[in-house]
């Protein structure tokens, strides 16, 4: 997927998520927002998978961790939060999911704040250790202290 294609998809996903945020407001558990967003995205024609399992492996293939990505929408990782404000750790988590799944683009969406928050993210193209980069920016936003995990199998 090209950067321009991802931008168009991310913009559409963001708009649908924003409309859900306006409708529901804050205060629900993350799962309610996940279900609502999956429903609305599916109705809009997106290919939506929820609770997608991934395995993180050491360089020799040994499984060192299992994670679950909230959503995979037309090849874009979507990480959802229902917190008062997004933190750098949430950005790092999403970047790690992108790296582990070898997917270039993702979004971090927060439904827990009265003001809607979303971030478009891109997997770093540099050799590890690399820092996450917000789409449209040329400088890393937070330092990374370890190499990116890899997907097994």
Supply the DSSP string of 118-143, one letter for each residue: EEEEE---SSSS---EETT-SS-SS-
The pTM is what? 0.79
Helix, strand, coil shares, percent, the chain, to 5? 35, 30, 40
Helix or strand holding residue 76 (H, E): strand 76-81
- Mean pLDDT computed over 45-52: 97
More confident site: 80 or 60: 80
The winner for highest mean pLDDT among 2-11, 18-27, 137-146 is 18-27
Give the mean model confidence (pLDDT) for residues 72-94. 96
């Amino acid at each position: 997927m090209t950067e321009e294609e991802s931008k168009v998809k991310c913009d559409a996903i963001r708009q649908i998520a924003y409309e859900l945020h306006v409708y529901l407001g804050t205060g629900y558990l993350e799962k309610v927002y996940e279900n609502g967003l999956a429903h609305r995205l599916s109705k809009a024609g997106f290919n939506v998978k929820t609770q997608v399992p991934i395995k993180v492996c050491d360089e020799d293939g040994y499984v060192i961790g299992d994670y679950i990505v909230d959503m995979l929408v037309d090849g874009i990782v979507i990480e959802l939060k229902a917190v008062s404000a997004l933190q750098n750790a949430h950005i790092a988590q999403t970047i790690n999911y992108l790296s582990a799944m070898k997917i270039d683009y993702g979004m971090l969406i927060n439904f827990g704040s009265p003001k809607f928050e979303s971030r478009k993210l891109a997997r770093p193209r540099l050799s590890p250790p690399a820092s996450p980069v917000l789409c449209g920016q040329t400088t890393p936003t937070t330092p990374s202290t370890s190499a990116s995990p890899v997907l097994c199998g």
